[in-house]
Amino acid sequence: MTEHVHILESLGSGLLALDLEGRIVFLNRRMGELLGVAPGEWFGRPGLELAARVKELAGSVPRLSLEIPAENQGVKSREIEWRNGQNLRYYREDSAALRDSSGRATGYLFAYHDISREKAIDRMKSEFISVASHELRTPMTSIKGSVDLILSGFAGDTSPEMQELLEIAQKSCDRLVRLVNDILDLAKIESGQLKLTRAPADITEIVVRSICAVKPLADRSEVRLRVDRPRPLPVVELDADRIEQVITNLLSNAVKFSPPKGEVIVEILAVEDWVQCSVIDRGSGIPEKDLKRIFGKFQQLSEGRKRGGTGLGLAITQALVEEHAGTIWVESVVGEGSRFIFKLPVVAGQPHTPPVHTP
């Protein structure tokens, strides 16, 4: 047992363990250094008393919530800022239940890992991507504009061969501009620079605008779009342009994966204190093993790679929903189709909007 304690004392991460009553049973040397306390003075005392003491310290360090994790939750993680005077560092807090050999919970463990270097690298990477994307967008926009003008006949007639080559160039330009815009959006989100302009809105109006934007693609694919909103809905406070981006992306994906003569349905419901929006297709579906990674950056399934795309759309969609304090997930059965669902919190005290007919 002494050997184990020596190992824990040698770790570069701070460790704090509580018993089931919330009393401190272990505090390693590194944790004492981070908090500015002597570990031996705190054994047997309430963890919340230590958290209160930390809050009183000059140039106070982290906010130790010591939130007890649920028994069946596994490891719970969050990032915290750790400030000591002018020195700001970032830590990841992992918390989990401690268990004996029979699996019975005997206490709780909190571990604090310094991730400042990783955060700095991520920040530099995001800044580089942002600058590079801005530098790419300007010439790409000029190239696209020139190709569009030539295709419109502004510079005179073109031969069928030239027309075909210009159309290939136009499609490639469109794809590159979409990629650059997606990368810029992702860089803004990851760096915390995305600014939302929130206002109370009826999400149905945003759905209708999104359907209008996707309709040309749906018509080319012979896919019908339909809205199902059977009951009045409460008002949601949101950034209309960003939520339109979310719905448009989900609709575009649904259309791409739908068979000809198929149908994509947008279902909007009020569920307790949320407005829930589902985009439903009857396409090939997503294998269960891929459901967890579908929202990752640059994640494309084999079927998705055949149909093009940047592999960033769903990552951006998830981030935008979460920026609105909402959640998004997917349900799918292979061969039967997929249902992408997101929900947003409603505005308290706002009246419900009347139901609308399917456009």
Q: What is the pLDDT along the chain (359 residues), one digit of tens a residue?
A: 455 566 677 777 888 888 888 888 888 888 887 777 888 888 888 888 887 766 655 444 455 666 666 666 677 788 877 766 667 788 888 888 888 888 888 888 888 888 888 888 877 877 777 777 778 878 888 888 898 898 888 878 888 888 889 888 888 888 888 888 888 888 778 777 788 899 998 899 999 999 999 999 999 999 999 998 877 788 899 999 999 999 999 999 999 989 999 999 999 999 888 999 999 999 888 888 888 788 887 766 655 545 555 678 899 999 999 999 999 999 998 888 999 999 999 876 555 554 444 44
Same domain, 208 and 302: yes
Residue 231 DSSP label: S
- In this structure, are residues 213 and 246 in contact, taking their beta carbons and an 8 Å threshold? no
Same domain, 170 and 203: no
Residue 359 resides in a domain: no
Separation between Cα atoms, residue 98 and residue 263, nearest integer Å: 50
The alpha carbon of residue 112 and the mean position of all alpha carbons in its chain are separated, in whole angstroms, by 24
Count of domains in the chain?
Answer: 3
Q: Which of 52, 120, 57 is nearest to 88 (CA)?
A: 120
CATH, residue 275: 3.30.565.10
Same domain, 230 and 315: yes
Separation between Cα atoms, residue 22 and residue 45, nearest integer Å: 8
Could you say which of 89, 114, 139 is where a domain stops? Answer: 114
The whole-number pLDDT of residue 37 equals 80
With tokens 């047997």, the residue in question is 44
Separation between Cα atoms, residue 13 and residue 196, nearest integer Å: 36
Domain that holds residue 10: 2-114
Separation between Cα atoms, residue 261 and residue 164, nearest integer Å: 28
Alpha helices in the chain (DSSP H): 2-10, 29-35, 47-56, 116-151, 160-190, 203-220, 240-256, 302-306, 313-323
Q: Which of 70, 69, 85, 77 is nearest to 113 (CA)?
A: 77
Residue 329 resides in a domain: yes
The whole-number pLDDT of residue 251 equals 95
Same domain, 224 and 334: yes
Residue 169 resides in a domain: yes
Separation between Cα atoms, residue 67 and residue 18, nearest integer Å: 11
Q: Which of 244, 129, 239 is nearest to 186 (CA)?
A: 129
Same domain, 334 and 203: yes
